[in-house]
Amino acid sequence: MLGRILKKDLKKRKGVNLILFLFIAIATVFLASSVNNILVVTPAVDYYMDYANVPDVYFNIVGTEEEEEVDRWLASSKADIETYGKSTMMTMGDKDVSCVTDGKSKSFQTGGSDIYLGSGTEKYCKVFDQDGKSFTLEEGQIALSKAALDRNKLEIGDTLILRSGDIEKKCTIKETIKDAAFGNDMVGMIRLVVSQEDFDQLSGSDEATSFIRYDVETDDAEGFAERLNQHSFATMTNAVTRDTYKMIYSFDMLMAALLILIGICLILIALLVLRFTLVFTLEEDYREIGIMKATGFRDFQIKKIYLAKYLALVTSGSLIGLLVSIPVSKAMIKSVSINLIMEDSKANLWVNLICTALVIMLVMAFCYLCTRKLNKVSAITAIRGGQTGERYGRRAGLRLHHHGRMSVPVFLGFNDMVSHVKRYLVLMITFCISFILITIPLNTLNTMQSEEMALKFALNPEAAAYVRKIEAKGEQRYEKEGDVQRGMTRVEKELKEKGYDAELSAVVFYFLKFGSQGKKSDTNLMTLQVVGPKDDFLTYDEGSAPKLSNEIAVSKKMSEKKDWHVGDTIETNLHDGKHSFIITGLYTDYMQVGESARMNPSFDLSKEMLADYWNIAVHTETDLSQKELAAELAKELPAYEWNSAQDVVDRNVGGIQKMLESMKIPMTALLCAIIMLITLLMEKLFIVREKGEIAMLKSVGFSDRSIQFWQVVRMVSVTVCSMIAAIPLSLLSNQFVLKPIFAIMGAEVKIQVVPWQVYGVYPLILLLGIIAATVIASRSVKRINIQELNNLE
C-alpha cells in the first residue's frame, strides 16, 4: 500500500517533485564540492611549499667574495639552523632574452619583472610541470612559467635566444612550469630554467652577473632572519621567510575564498527552499491527513508515507548530486590552481560521500520535524485544511479604501506580501542571498580596477601611461639613481622626436637597514623614493607625507612589527654615515607585501646602490586613455614595454581580475537559473494553495491575464523588498568579507561599489528572470475552473 501511495503521489505532483529533486541534487553538489574545496584549498599553499621544498628562509649574496664567510657563519652555532643548501642563479637583462616565433625574432616581454636563469637540478625551490610532476631538461631545452608564455604568446616548441656576453644559445621551450618560489607575479621575478650544461656555459661568461642563493631550514625563521640582518654581510640582499612566500599567494586564494563563499550561500538557498517545500506540501495535504486520522491511521503511520516519499526523492537526488559533485569539485579547484599545486581531490572522495549522507539526513530530519505538528492536529482541524475557523486578531494588510486608485491585481499583489510576511520570508531570504552573491565578485572586480588599487602598488593613476625597463640596447642594468635620471632624459628626447611633449618620473627603491634611535639598525627595509616632477601622488592613512629631507613614512605593518609610531625617530647607516629620520606618516600598500618605507624625494640617495626601479610614469597632455596611449607608444617606440596602470596591477595580482571578469556572465546565468527555478517552485505551490481564491476571482469576472498579473506583481514586490534589504547586507559583506581578504597582503583597501552596475543592471537581470519564471508558472491558472470554489475556506 505504501508503494502505491508513493507512486501515485509522485505522479500527481510531477512539477513540484521534479523541482524538489533538482534542489536536493543542487544542495548535494554544492555542499560536497564546496566542503571538498575547503579541505583542499585551505592548506593548498602549505602543501605547495612542502611539495616544492621551499625553505624556511632564503637569502642571496652577490658574487662569491663573502661565500666562505657566510658558510662559516651558517656552520657556527650562532646561526642555530637545522641544515642549508646553496645554488647559483644568474641575472639577465631584458635585452639578453628574445623570442623566435614563425621565424621572426622579437623582444621578450617581462611584465615588469626581473629575469633570472637557473638550472632544474636544485634541491630547494623546485619547479614542476603543469601536472605537478618532475621533469628533466636536455641541452638546448628551456622551461618557463605559463604567465611568461602567455604574455609573449609563446607555445611549447618555440625558441628563446639567451645571451651572456659573447655567448648566445638557442633553447627550445619544452615545459610550462609551476614555480612555487619565483612563479607568482608578485615576486617580481621570472625564472627561466635550463639544463645544467647550458647554465654552466652562460654563467661562465666574463660579463655574467651571478649570485648565490642560500636556502635555510630552521625552527625559528624570524629569529634567524633577525640574526642574519644583524651580522650585516655587505653583499647580501634581504632575507625572505616562508611566511612571506605564503602571503604572496593571497590573491590566488582570493578566488578560492570567493568560490567557497558562493558554494556556502547556494547550499543555504537550497536548504531554505527544501524546508519551505516540505512545510508547504504537508499543509497542502491536510485534508488527506484528516481523513486518514478519522479512519484510524496513527500519527507514525501517516508520517511514514511522507518519510518514504522524501527518502526516495532525497536519495535519488543526492546520488545524482554526488556523481555531479566530483567533476564540479575538480573544475572549481582547477580554476584556483593555475599558480598552485594542490592535492588531488580524488583523495577526498570520502568527503563527497559524507556530504551526500549529510544531505539525506538533514532533509529527512527537516521532514520529520515538520511532521511532528501532525501530532497536535485533530482529524476535524486537518480536514478543514488546518484551520479552526476562528480568528481573534485583526488581520494585517492594506485597506482598499485607502488605495482606491490602485488596480485590483496590483492591490492584491501588494496586500499578499504585507499580510503574509512569514509566508514569503524564505523567498525574500533566498533572493537576498542571491543578490549578495552577485555583488561580491562585482565589487571585487571593481576594486581591482580602481585608482585606489593602483595607488596601493605605488602607481600614479593620473599618469598618461607607464614604461618599464628603459635601459638602452647594450646598457647594463641601472645601479644608481643618476642612471635612472639619465635614462628618463633619453626617453623624454625620444618621445619628443615622435611628437610627445612628456615628462617622466620613477619610483626607485633601495634596501636600507633601519633601527630605532640609539639601537642597532637591523631591519632590512624596502625604501621607496619618487624621482621626477610628479612626486606627491602617494596617500597616507595616518599623519602626512615626509616634507623635509630628515622625514620618512613607514607602512602600518612595519609600525606594528617594530613598534614605530608617528613622531618616533629611526636611524640608518648610509655611505656617508648615520642618518636620523622622523616618522611623519603611516600608510598601507602592497609593496614588499606591505613592509616598506617612503623617503622624501629631496633626500640625496644618489650614491646608494639601487635595488631596482618601479614602473616609470609618463606625464603628457592627451585625450587618450592609458591603455590607448600605451598601445600607440608601443607602435612608435617598440623597444620599450608600455603599459597602463591596470596592466601593471593585473600582472601583480596573478591574473585574478581576468578570472573574475570571465566569471561575471556564467555566475549571473547560474544565479538567474537558480532563482527562476526557485520562483517556479514557489509560484506553483502558491497557485496550488490558492486554487479556491483563484476560482472565486474567475467567478466574479476576473480574466486569466488579470490573475497572472496579480501573481507577477506579488513576486516583483517580494523581489524589490529583498533587494532593498540586501543593500546594507552587501555593504556589510564588503566590510567583513572582502576587506579582510584584500588586507592579507598588507593594504587597507576601500571596496569600490559602482551603484548603477551593482544596484541597477545586475539586479534588473535577476528581476527579469523572476518575472519570466512567474509568467511561466502562472500559466497553470488557466486550468483552474470554478468548481475549485469547494476548496475555499
Q: What pLDDT score was predicted for residue 71?
A: 86
Question: End of a domain among 217, 244, 275?
Answer: 217
Positive or negative torsion for Cα 45, 50, 52, 54 = positive
pLDDT of residue 553: 95
Three-state DSSP state, 354: helix
Q: What is the mean pLDDT of the chain?
A: 81
pLDDT score recorded for residue 251:
65
Residue with the bigger pLDDT between 531 and 246: it is 531
| Whole-number pLDDT of residue 550 | 92
Residues 667 and 579 grouped into a single domain: no
The tens digit of pLDDT for each residue in 407-434 reads 778 877 787 877 777 778 878 888 888 8
Residue matched to cell numbers 629569529: 223
Region 352-361: mean pLDDT is: 82
pLDDT of residue 505: 93
pLDDT on residue 426: 78
The alpha carbon of residue 182 and the mean position of all alpha carbons in its chain are separated, in whole angstroms, by 21
Question: Is residue 230 one of the residues assigned to a domain?
Answer: no
- Residues of the chain with pLDDT > 70, as a percent, come to 85
Predicted confidence (pLDDT) per residue in 516-558, tens digit:
887 776 777 889 999 988 888 999 999 999 999 999 999 999 9
Contact call for residues 767 and 759 (beta carbons, < 8 A): no
> Where is pLDDT greater, at 739 or 347?
739
Whether 209 has a pLDDT exceeding 70, the answer reads yes
427 and 494 housed in the same domain: no
| Chain segment 24-75, per-residue pLDDT in tens | 787 778 777 777 776 777 777 888 888 888 898 888 887 777 888 888 888 8
Residue 434 is predicted with a pLDDT of 82
Model confidence at 240, in pLDDT bands (50, 70, 90)? confident
Q: Confirm if 245 and 54 have CB atoms less than 8 A apart.
A: yes
Of 246-255, 490-499, 647-656, give the range with the top mean pLDDT: 490-499
Which of 388, 421, 445 terminates a domain? The answer is 388
Q: How far apart are CA 209 and CA 205, in angstroms?
A: 9
- The residue-averaged pLDDT of 170-181 equals 88
In a domain, 635, yes or no: no
Q: How far apart are CA 741 and CA 448, in angstroms?
A: 12
**Average pLDDT score over residue span 271-295:** 71
Average pLDDT rounded to a whole number, residues 316-330: 83
Higher pLDDT, 663 or 626: 626
Instruction: Say yes or no: 500 and 609 in one domain.
Output: yes
Q: What is the mean pLDDT of residues 153-180?
A: 87
Range from 53-62, 236-245, 441-450, 628-637 carrying the lowest mean pLDDT = 236-245
Average pLDDT over residues 78-87: 79
Same-domain pairing of 200 and 245: no
Instruction: Note the pLDDT of residue 164.
Output: 85
Q: How far apart are CA 52 and CA 181, in angstroms?
A: 8
Name which of 88, 93, 82, 322 is nearest 214 in CA terms: 88
DSSP 576-641: TEEEEEEEEEEE--SGGGG-EEEE-TTS--TTSPP-EEPPEEEE---SS-HHHHHHHHHHH-TTSE
Q: Are residues 144 and 165 in the same domain?
A: yes
The highest-confidence range among 65-79, 312-326, 657-671, by mean pLDDT, is 312-326
Is the pLDDT reported for residue 401 higher than 70? no
Residue 591 included in any domain: yes
Mean per-residue pLDDT, 235-246: 77
| DSSP state string for 170-183 | EEEEEEEEEETTT-
Residues 358, 449, single domain; the answer is no
Given this model, what pLDDT does residue 292 score? 73
Least trusted range by pLDDT, from 134-143, 326-335, 506-515: 326-335
Confidence of residue 208 (pLDDT cuts 50, 70, 90): confident
264 shares a domain with 410: no
User: Do 240 and 363 lie in a common domain?
Assistant: yes
Number of domains present in the structure of the chain: 4
C-alpha cell at 155: 607555445
- How many beta carbons lie within 10 A of that of residue 560, not counting itself? 11
Does 613 lie in the same domain as 473? yes
> Residue 57: inside a domain, yes or no?
yes
pLDDT at 452 over 80: yes
Q: Mean pLDDT check: name the lowest of 173-177, 657-661, 750-754.
A: 657-661
Q: Please tell me the least confidently modeled range out of 138-142, 205-209, 275-279.
A: 275-279
Examine the pLDDT at 12 and tell me if it is beyond 90. Answer: no
- Residue 132, Ramachandran bin (φ over 0: left; ψ between -120 and 50: alpha; else beta): left
Name the least confident of 215-219, 388-392, 583-587, 764-768.
388-392
Q: How far apart are CA 16 and CA 7, in angstroms?
A: 14
Q: Is residue 58 within 8 Å of 239, Cβ to Cβ?
A: yes
Q: Give the residue numbers spanning the domain of 564.
A: 465-621
Q: Is residue 523 a part of any domain in this protein?
A: yes
Q: Is 299 among the domain residues? A: yes
Mean pLDDT of 323-335: 76
Could you say which of 601, 621, 641 is where a domain stops? 621
CA 373-374-378 angle, 5° bins: 120
Phi (first) and psi of residue 96, to 5 degrees = -85, -5
Close Cβ partners of 620 (under 8 Å, ≥ 6 residues apart):
464, 495, 500, 501, 502, 503
Verify that 697 and 759 share a domain, yes or no.
yes
Render pLDDT for 603-612 as a digit per residue (tens, 0 to 9): 999 888 888 8
Interval 132-153: pLDDT, tens: 888 888 889 999 888 888 888 8
Measure the CA–CA gap between 630 and 616, rounded to whole angstroms.
12
pLDDT classification of 258: cutoffs 50, 70, 90: low
Same domain for 291 and 331? yes
Residue 427: predicted pLDDT: 81
Question: How high is the pLDDT of residue 491?
Answer: 92
Top mean-pLDDT range of 195-209, 236-250, 412-426, 630-644? 630-644
Q: Is residue 70 part of a domain?
A: no
Residue 555 near residue 594 (C-beta atoms within 8 A): yes
The predicted structure's pLDDT at residue 268 = 73
Do 603 and 469 share a structural domain? yes
The secondary structure element, H or E, covering residue 128 is: strand 127-129
Q: What is the mean pLDDT of residues 628-642?
A: 89
Average pLDDT over residues 629-637: 90
Choose among 574, 615, 572, 609: nearest CA to 591.
Answer: 615
Quickly state the pLDDT bin for 3 (edges 50, 70, 90).
low
The answer to whether residue 740 is domain-embedded is yes
